[in-house]
Structure 1
Amino acid sequence: MLNRRKFLLMVLISAIAPSLQACGNADNTAKVRVLSGSIPSQVLGAFERQFEGEQNLDLNPISQLEDLYEFLEELVEEENSNRADLVTLGDFWLKTAIEKDLIQPLDLEDLSNWNALPSRWRDLVKRDQQGNPDSEGEIWAAPYRWGNTIIAYNEDKFRQAGYDPPTDWEDLWREELKEKISLLDQPREVIGLTLKKLGESYNTDDLDAISNLKSELSALHKQVKFYSSSNYLEPLILGDTWVAVGWSNDILDLRTRYPNIRVITPNSGTALWADVWVRPKGSERFLEPILEWINFCWKKETASQIGLFTNGSSPILLNGNQEEIPDDLKADELRIPPSEILERSEFLLPLSEETREKYQEVWEETRMYSDSK
């Protein structure tokens, strides 16, 4: 969903990127492929001013994470001459990128701001050679932005009907919400929130051990009017559904554009995602400007800009030192959730092939549920 703010950010990034490249020639400029809208133009300008042309970046914004992952594949499979020294990737693709030998480790532990990252975000990017989390593994990525799965609801609908608004996953099963919910078309998300409702983990590896999982999923399926991973907000905006479950980077803008739409982070915790920097396989140039840029993204001032001007937040804002965070951010529990909710939230970690197949099997059984809804 390309809203006005995202469009303006893309225009600004596109306008600033050539000026950054112009500070030097192609032989001393690091090429960066970045997810559009994930880095504010203010950050790029501040980086340029701080280094005064000593560390040059050629930033090329790309609109979708899927396109960035495909770009990494093309670099290896087709020996793409349009090289890049640093690329944005979603943490969900990290295991596959490592397995397919699309990226190489980053030496980040000597950077001054590496330890400013909360330990959970450092652990997220330490992986073994198969891409599985490993506390002793190498560092394969640099997290710079994060978000989560949240609930949006139409406040007018609940008030007019005299119902309490939702506060947690369990509310999705309430009788009055039958056929009034839009959900992501994602098995890890839907099965995961159901597991969370049952007090289990998003990363449960033995679904057969959860005896009431399938019955709970069937009951939730009766509540759903619409599944989509791209257009799940339109039914909520139009009033066709009362509740939508989706990703924070899609939903946050609704608060100002549609005052009747309210947004909450479920009390029992939710799924987390991260945008990370990765270094493509075969990239050997310009390590110094790359490291300077990564470290710059972890400065408190940069983190605040990411939180203020993108539909995401920075993990640096969660490290306990709140003094330098703007008041608008500190007061926004969607960007900086209460610590107890964050502690109960989880990244969607890699599953074994057998477990992935089980999730898909359970998902297909749920979607084929044929009783009247």
Structure 2
Amino acid sequence: MNRRIFLQLTSLNTLRWLALSTLPTTLSACGTNPDNTLNVRLLKNSIPPQLVRQFRASLEQPASLNFAAEEQLSHLFDLLTPTETPAATTQQQLLPWRRTPGVSQLDLVTLGNYWLSAAIQQQRIQPLNAGELKTWSELPSRWQQLVRRNNQGQPDPSGSVWGIPYRWGTTVLAFRRDRFRDLGWTPTDWNDLWRPELAGKISLLDRAREIIGLTLKKLGQSYNTANLDDVTNLRSQLQQLHSQARFYSSTHYLEPLITGDTQLAVGWSSDVLAAMERYPQINAVIPLSGTALWAELWVRPANASNENPLVNQWIDFCLAPERAGQLSLLTGGTSSTALGFNRDLPKELREHRVLFPPNPLVQRSEFLLPLSEESAQQYLRYWEEMRSQPVT
């Protein structure tokens, strides 16, 4: 990204950060009919407050819009009350669990795509009628396929639609400009994590699917490889990567980068873009061989009423192509309808290679899909073997 684009985006995003950091977590309207209410729990900073206010202004009848934010996707998963609680599978052991009581009377909840399979299996959510949504056809086919699942949570082209993707992003390499200027090169792909000059200077996500997946990608394999034993040199590559690591965390992986204790970090684009706003010495790149894609979805709790017309109105309003730029720029995640309409966005935004990666790079990237029980056990075993030695 050139300096002009960087400065323009930083200026706009700093205003966004200041606004979001001072807003309450609940946006509601008073003096309205209690029967005309929309109760939403969403991931903090994933929807601009301005969008909620604009939606309220667009309604023909006054409504109470109760939008409350949660800090973590795991917290949102816990709000979805299961109708039954089966024993946890190995696949679910790969998730960062937090067990707390669910909350009733919610109409919509943000859910990460990685949690979708477990939410379906545990009957925490109900299918949506995508045919009633005006914007469903605006979503790219891969995004539609992501949320079509059978009742066991497995991808199924003829399955029900269990969520509506509204925002997405990537796993990126974040790095210190100043440190790499001294090294005389900048990261471009996953194989740079194995460079000897970065030993003990890397932060890694504490997620088996992400770290094993990027190693698979380095070896020319898929993030969703079913049998790890078939991948030549995978174990040795994982051990070498572990020896490079200084720090593992899925929540605090950027702090060592900011303080200079590490020089390179694997992280999620929304987190990294927020850090780039405040710390200009940090830059980011999407690995050229492809990366993991993530998406945030609107899902309906299993106990939600089907009689609330505000649900579809909000989803259509949120996904309208004319709002793709606003959602993308103000949240650090890309609107799910932006890929098909990015020609209508400002040139500075279209050229942002983290928010809007080139289509060939998106095509080389993958959503993390659910594994079979046998494959999940294998991933967990490889992860435990990799982590059995202390970090440097």
**What is the TM-score normalised by the length of structure 1?**
0.92
Q: Pick from 31, 37, 45 the counterpart of residue 37 of structure 1.
A: 45
Cα shift readout 1:234-269 (whole Å, capped 9, x = no counterpart):
111111111011111111022232221111000011
Cα shift readout 1:274-319 (whole Å, capped 9, x = no counterpart):
1101111121254311011111111112221110110211111112
Match of 2:58 in 1: 50
Match of 1:129 in 2: 151
Q: Cα distance, 1:337 vs. partner?
A: 0.2
Cα separation, 2, equivalents of 1:12 and 1:93: 28
Match of 1:186 in 2: 207
> Are 2:82 and 2:123, in contact at CA under 8 Å, matched by a contact in 1?
no
Q: Pick from 328, 331, 341 the counterpart of residue 348 of structure 2.
A: 328
Greater mean deviation of Cα atoms: 281-290 or 92-101: 281-290
Match of 1:101 in 2: 123
Q: Cα distance, 1:80 vs. partner?
A: 6.3
Match of 1:158 in 2: 180
The alignment status of 1:140 with 2:150, answered yes or no, reads no
1:179 and 1:235, CA in 2 relative to 1: closer, same or farther beyond 3 A?
A: same
Cα separation, 1, equivalents of 2:134 and 2:159: 20
| 1:1-373 → structure 2 map (5 Å cutoff) | 8-9=19-20, 11-12=22-23, 14=25, 17-19=27-29, 22=30, 24-53=32-61, 56-73=64-81, 82-161=104-183, 163-319=184-340, 321-369=341-389
Q: Cα distance, 1:75 vs. partner?
A: 8.2
Cα separation, 1, equivalents of 2:20 and 2:377: 39
The residue identity in structure 2 corresponding to 1:248 is S
> Are 1:30 and 1:85, in contact at CA under 8 Å, matched by a contact in 2?
yes
Q: Cα distance, 1:200 vs. partner?
A: 0.4
Q: Cα distance, 1:18 vs. partner?
A: 1.8
Cα shift readout 1:206-256 (whole Å, capped 9, x = no counterpart):
000002100111111111111111111111111111101111111102223
Cα shift readout 1:73-131 (whole Å, capped 9, x = no counterpart):
37878996741011111111111111011110000123221111000100000000001
Q: Secondary structure at the match of 2:334?
A: coil
1:4 and 1:64, CA in 2 relative to 1: closer, same or farther beyond 3 A?
A: farther
1:186 and 1:256, CA in 2 relative to 1: closer, same or farther beyond 3 A?
A: same
The residue identity in structure 1 corresponding to 2:374 is E
The residue identity in structure 2 corresponding to 1:151 is L
Percentage of pairs with the same residue: 46
The residue identity in structure 1 corresponding to 2:367 is F
What's the Cα RMSD here? 2.2
Cα separation, 1, equivalents of 2:141 and 2:77: 26
**What is the TM-score normalised by the length of structure 2?**
0.88
Q: Secondary structure at the match of 2:332?
A: coil
Q: Cα distance, 1:25 vs. partner?
A: 2.2
Consecutive unaligned residues of structure 1, counting only runs of 5 or more, are: none
Cα separation, 1, equivalents of 2:323 and 2:352: 18
Q: Cα distance, 1:63 vs. partner?
A: 2.1
Cα separation, 2, equivalents of 1:211 and 1:270: 20
1:10 and 1:155, CA in 2 relative to 1: closer, same or farther beyond 3 A?
A: closer
> Are 1:183 and 1:232, in contact at CA under 8 Å, matched by a contact in 2?
yes
Cα separation, 1, equivalents of 2:59 and 2:42: 20
Q: Secondary structure at the match of 2:129?
A: coil
Q: Cα distance, 1:323 vs. partner?
A: 3.3
Greater mean deviation of Cα atoms: 49-58 or 284-293: 49-58
Q: Secondary structure at the match of 2:295?
A: strand
Consecutive unaligned residues of structure 2, counting only runs of 5 or more, are: 1-13, 86-99
